[in-house]
Amino acid sequence: MELFRGVNVDWLGKKWYFLAFSLVFSVAGVLSMLFWHGIKLGIDFRGGTLVYVQFEQPPDPDRIRQAMDHAGIHDSRIQPYGTAAQKQVAISLAQKETQESALDTGRQTIVQALNTNYASGGAANQGKLDLDNASQGALAQFLQQNDPEHLAGAGGGSQKYAEQAAAILNHRDHDLGGIFSSIDQLNGVADPAVVSLLKQSAYLSGFHVFAADIIGPQVGAALRKQALMATLYSLAGMLIYLWFRFELIYGVAAVVAVFHDTLITVGAFSLTNQEITLTVIAAILTLIGYSMNDTIVVFDRIRENLRISRRENLTSVVNRSINQTLSRTVLTSGLTFLTVLSLYLFGGEVLHGFSFALVIGILIGTYSSIAVAAPMLVAYQDWRAKRGKKAVLPAGKKARV
Amino acid sequence: MRKTILIIAVLLVFVFGIFRIPKGIGLSAWKTALTDNIHLGLDLKGGIHLVLQVMVEEAVGAETDNAVARVQADLQQGGFPARSVLKPDPKKPELLQIQGTPPDRTGDVRSLLDSRYGAQYTIASEANNSWTLTMKQTEVQSIEQHALQQAIDTIRTRIDNLGVTEPTIQEYNLGTNQILVELPGVDDLSRVREIIQSTARLEIHLVVGGPFPTEQAAAQSVGGTVPPEDIVMAYGGTEPDLQGQYFVLQRLPIVAGDDFRDAQPSVDENGRPDATFILTRNAGDRFYQFTSTNIGKSLAVVLDNRVQEAANIQQAIRDQGRITGLGKEKAQNLSLMLRTGALPASIHYLQESVVGPSLGADSIRKGVLASIVGMLAVMIFMLIYYHGAGINADLALMLNLIILLGFMGYSGATLTLPGIAGVILTIGMGVDSNVLIFERIREELRAGKAPAAAVDQGFAHAWVTIVDTHVTTIVSAIILFLFGTGPVKGFAVTLSFGLFANLFTAVFVSRHIFDSILKRKQRGEALSIG
């Protein structure tokens, strides 16, 4: 089976279309960044509080917002998280309510507000244990204090109760996906005496805080700086390597192409109003590596062809090189796209932003090695020719391996 | 033949790295073996991630507090007492000021200060027989470094008391005096905070006056503004009459922090919880001297900058005492803290993340599912597109994955969610190398070369490109590892391991399989490459 055989496309002849395409997408992204959605940073860069809550019933954002308002939190953002069937919500607070001296306050206020609004039973729950949010240590301690199996005489039974607590929470977190709908679900998981104690003096709050991120302003700023530096350093590292292996112009062209990809990807995040988190930065760094990889394959072929046929003009050498590697480019991109797509479809909410960046990035990265990096070499040579310098692009240092 | 043995040996070594020796032969035994050897990050396992800031300048302040008393005593002993020794600016803990030394003994004062404090401080004489001692920068740094290390050690001991398996407690962001704490499998944030945060800085001060109903009233009692040698502190004990009251204390404690050797929760005659403390021998001597000359005055026991108790000195006390007014829980905590050592400075929280076990389990399931689906799709495609050579590529791909996981097992590097994404990208790069080689071989075959020559040429040409692409990506992965944090780092680790593995499998293993196939084929027989 073979997809591309003897293709002979004049890629450089289409450079104006490419330029238009790139311009439309970059400008759209930049405009959105400047005038529409802006660049929405995740709380890891902004600083702030983010609490992930799972509900027993489908959550109603308005009701949650009201609960928050009652608790005195007025600028909370409530977003559905994951699929509707998961009944999950992410509640976030801005940085100004996340002070370094009392980092945890925001989270506690949110939990309390939800507790007063969601737990059935109201005031009757005073002093009872919230089984949906209890930690293993708290539950074990609770059991031991109440001692439903009367083990205090027989050596205390702390081991026994710790095991029971572990079994109960394992059932909650792994079998039921984090939340009980009734304490009866514990029948057969824990001892009957334990279950009847819990029915009496524990309650279900109807929600479960399954993760929380609280990031102080100082850390947010440091992470922002660090992510930016990591990206710039890695670009510089690549530029230097390419300079060493090829010629400076190859490095510059590759870096420009990669910059183009990053701009469009970040633009896509702005256009779709998605947050840029630390994981998304990891994805952008990946796509930089990927796009660079793609560009180098084409450049390698250009270098090789330039050495074989020194008399041919650069435009046709570049065209031929792109055509020769086209089969590989399409195959690799297609296959990588396949893996990334599976990540996007099956990877779950946590990786959503990450895989979205890669889905966009791989398409753009493939396009840019053909449509941005290679034409730049030709444009550079034309510019040099116009200024009356040596017309032929240096073939690069001899490949030594 | 030798190459086959090498490849099999590598395979075995890395399979051992992934599984070690499983305890059984069932599927679950292999699964446990796998999870025992591959360390999962907090995002997959669930747990608590904290970044703490140690306020190291407090340790510098504590050192200069000590020096105040020492300087005073030294000048006294030398026979030229100063009117006062104090710390002029609370915001500059490294600064000491001596005021009113005898004007005719300036030379003696200078030589005494030089000989005793010259190593640690820069000494400057000023007008009106005053002196300023500024702690040298190297000394400040070494105290701060020591405080940070001590904070790490203390937190580690406390966490060990919690019984967490494989906690990480280490310096973070070099030079910023931050500590990273990672506690896998723990999701009880409030309890962890309580244990770590409690500075349990226990001090005993001389009471100047009090109790007063307000802070202003306390300040009024010492003339409106609190002089630098005194401090106003709120009551924080359990006595109902004293709630919300303030005391004026001498700023410098008589005994503090490290002077306490132990404290045990106990019960007084009336059955109320209290704590019995024991001082170190040295501090006991000091305390004895102080209490014996100050009978009748009041002492205040201060815990974390709050007065727990104030009582008259009835008799000289040497090294044991009792603290009332704590309440049961505080008494127990205090005892734990004092036994594990006090924190040298207080701690601020910069970042907290909690990942619940349900989210972690869900992420693993989805990450693994995505990887398997992606990999299978790629492998099936390679078989269809390249026929026989596709098997070759698929073998290389699997070996690549085994080496990558084996690396993780041996090195103890943690697999995070972005790490799984790194694995998926490694699969992508691995496929890329194979595609590069195969396409090149096809080109050579089309150009009319014999299979053996085509394979040879194909590998030779593709090799140059593969080196370039891999080195560039490894360069960027290493930079990410050096400058990145958390998820970015986890990603960089798997990516670089994967790329090294890939260089081996795609080039060496794949080549060897081609060669062995070619050896068996008749001359002129076609190569199965789609």
Per-residue pLDDT band for A120 (boundaries 50, 70, 90) equals low
**Residue B338 confidence (pLDDT):** 64
Cα→Cα distances A213→A13, A43, A104, A144, Å: 51, 8, 10, 31
Domain match, A222 and A351 both: yes
Q: What are phi and psi of B257, to 5 degrees?
A: 50, -105
Please check whether residue B388 touches A, CB under 8 A.
no
Q: Residue A348: list chain B partners with CB under 8 A.
A: 362-363, 366-367
Please check whether residue B474 touches A, CB under 8 A.
no
Q: Is the pLDDT of residue B256 over 70?
A: yes
Handedness of CA B245, B250, B251, B253 (dihedral sign): negative
**Strands, E, within B185-259: which ranges?**
202-212, 230-234, 246-250, 255-256
**Residue A399 confidence (pLDDT):** 46
Angstroms from A223 CA to nearest CA on chain B: 8
Taking an 8 Å cut-off on Cβ atoms, the answer to whether A285 and B476 are in contact is: yes
Highest mean pLDDT among A118-127, B256-265, B354-363: B354-363
Per-residue pLDDT band for A401 (boundaries 50, 70, 90) equals very low
Domain match, A281 and A347 both: yes
User: Which helix H or strand E contains B181, and what residues bound it?
Assistant: strand B178-184
Cα–Cα distance, A76 to B78 (Å, whole number): 65
Domain match, A230 and A369 both: yes
Q: Which residue has the higher pLDDT, A396 or A292?
A: A292
Angstroms from B483 CA to nearest CA on chain A: 5
- pLDDT tens track for B203-248: 888 888 878 888 888 888 887 777 777 888 888 777 777 788 889 9
Q: Residue A285: list chain B partners with CB under 8 A.
A: 476, 480, 488, 491
Handedness of CA B425, B430, B434, B436 (dihedral sign): positive
Find out whether B144 and B177 touch, Cβ atoms under 8 Å.
Answer: yes
* Whole-complex ipTM: 0.78
Domain count, chain A: 2
Angstroms from A376 CA to nearest CA on chain B: 20
Domain match, A296 and A163 both: no
Which of B354, B463, B483 lies nearest to residue A229, judging by beta carbons? B483
Angstroms from B83 CA to nearest CA on chain A: 39
**Is residue A151 included in any domain, yes or no?**
yes
**Is residue A1 included in any domain, yes or no?**
no
Per-residue pLDDT band for B389 (boundaries 50, 70, 90) equals confident
Closest CA to B426 of B477, B373, B366, B494: B494
Q: Residue A139: list chain B partners with CB under 8 A.
A: none
**Residue A386 confidence (pLDDT):** 84
Q: Which residue has the higher pLDDT, A123 or A169?
A: A169
Q: Residue B174: list chain A partners with CB under 8 A.
A: none
Domain match, A78 and A125 both: yes
Domain match, A54 and A130 both: yes
- pLDDT tens track for B78-97: 888 888 888 888 788 888 88
Q: Residue B370: list chain A partners with CB under 8 A.
A: 342-343, 345-347, 351
**Residue A368 confidence (pLDDT):** 93
Please check whether residue A275 touches B, CB under 8 A.
no
**Residue A122 confidence (pLDDT):** 62
Closest CA to B82 of B122, B32, B41, B132: B132
Cα→Cα distances B342→A230, A310, B200, B234, B236, Å: 37, 75, 6, 21, 19
Please check whether residue A136 touches B, CB under 8 A.
yes
**Is residue A357 included in any domain, yes or no?**
yes
Which of helix, strand or coil describes residue A129?
strand
Find out whether B530 and B22 touch, Cβ atoms under 8 Å.
Answer: no
Per-residue pLDDT band for A172 (boundaries 50, 70, 90) equals confident
**Is residue A3 included in any domain, yes or no?**
no
**Residue A32 confidence (pLDDT):** 92
Q: Which residue has the higher pLDDT, B328 or A108?
A: A108
Cα–Cα distance, B199 to B194 (Å, whole number): 10
Taking an 8 Å cut-off on Cβ atoms, the answer to whether B484 and A227 are in contact is: yes
Cα–Cα distance, B98 to B85 (Å, whole number): 4
The range of the structural domain enclosing residue A287 comes to: 12-42+216-386
Task: Give the residue from A181, A214, A247 where a domain finishes.
Answer: A214
**Residue A261 confidence (pLDDT):** 94
Taking an 8 Å cut-off on Cβ atoms, the answer to whether A350 and B375 are in contact is: no
Q: Tell me, yes or no, if the pTM score tops 0.90.
A: no
Please check whether residue B439 touches A, CB under 8 A.
yes
Taking an 8 Å cut-off on Cβ atoms, the answer to whether A281 and B480 are in contact is: no
Task: Give the residue from A168, A189, A214 where a domain finishes.
Answer: A214
Nearest CA in chain B to A234: B476
- pLDDT tens track for B484-508: 776 677 778 888 888 889 988 988 8
Angstroms from B211 CA to nearest CA on chain A: 28
Closest CA to B338 of B252, B280, B290: B280
- pLDDT tens track for A245-279: 888 889 899 999 999 999 999 999 999 988 888 87
**Is residue A337 included in any domain, yes or no?**
yes
Q: What pairing do the DSSP bridges indicate for beta strands A48-55 and A88-93?
A: antiparallel
**Is residue A274 included in any domain, yes or no?**
yes
Task: Give the residue from A162, A195, A214 where a domain finishes.
Answer: A214
Per-residue pLDDT band for B477 (boundaries 50, 70, 90) equals confident
How many CB pairs below 8 A link A and B? 249
Cα→Cα distances B358→A168, A173, B355, Å: 13, 5, 8
Q: How many CB atoms neighbour CB A32 within 10 A?
A: 20
**Is residue A140 included in any domain, yes or no?**
yes
**Residue A400 confidence (pLDDT):** 44
Domain match, A274 and A345 both: yes
Domain match, A37 and A184 both: no
- pLDDT tens track for A212-252: 888 887 778 888 888 888 888 888 888 888 888 888 889 89
Domain match, A182 and A113 both: yes
Q: What percent of chain A has pLDDT over 70?
A: 91
Mean pLDDT, chain A, rounded, equals 83
Q: Which of residues 399-428 of B touch A (CB under 8 A)?
A: 417-418, 421-422, 424-425, 427-428
Q: CATH code at A327? A: 1.20.1640.10
Q: Residue B432: list chain A partners with CB under 8 A.
A: 293, 328, 332, 335-336
> How many Cα atoms are found within 13 Å in the side-chain-facing hemisphere of B411?
13
- pLDDT tens track for B50-69: 888 888 888 888 888 878 88
Q: Which of residues 240-269 of A touch B (CB under 8 A)?
A: 241-242, 245
Radius of gyration of chain B (CA): 34
Contacts of A21 (CB under 8 A, 6+ apart): A371
Q: Is the pLDDT of residue B298 over 80?
A: yes
User: Which helix H or strand E contains B309, and what residues bound it?
Assistant: strand B306-312
**Is residue A124 included in any domain, yes or no?**
yes
Domain match, A244 and A355 both: yes
- pLDDT tens track for B392-406: 889 988 999 899 989
> How many Cα atoms are found within 13 Å in the side-chain-facing hemisphere of B416?
22
Please check whether residue B194 touches A, CB under 8 A.
no
Based on the number of CB atoms within 10 Å of its own CB, is B361 exposed (0-12), middle (13-18) or buried (19 or more)? Answer: middle
Domain match, A22 and A113 both: no
Q: The tokens 């020769």 sit on which residue?
A: A324
Which of helix, strand or coil describes residue B102?
coil
Find out whether A56 and A66 touch, Cβ atoms under 8 Å.
Answer: no
- pLDDT tens track for A194-206: 888 888 888 888 8
Angstroms from A196 CA to nearest CA on chain B: 25
Taking an 8 Å cut-off on Cβ atoms, the answer to whether B348 and A234 are in contact is: no
User: B3: left (phi > 0), else alpha (psi -120 to 50), else beta?
Assistant: alpha
Mean pLDDT, to the nearest integer, of B143-159?
86
Cα→Cα distances A217→A22, A95, A220, B51, Å: 36, 7, 5, 12
Mean pLDDT, chain B, rounded, equals 82
Closest CA to A371 of A27, A31, A3, A9: A9
Cα→Cα distances B145→A132, A248, B115, B169, B229, Å: 43, 44, 25, 16, 28
* Domains of chain B, earliest start first: 2-46+356-520 (1.20.1640.10), 57-140 (3.30.1360), 198-351 (3.30.1360.200)
Domain match, A160 and A266 both: no
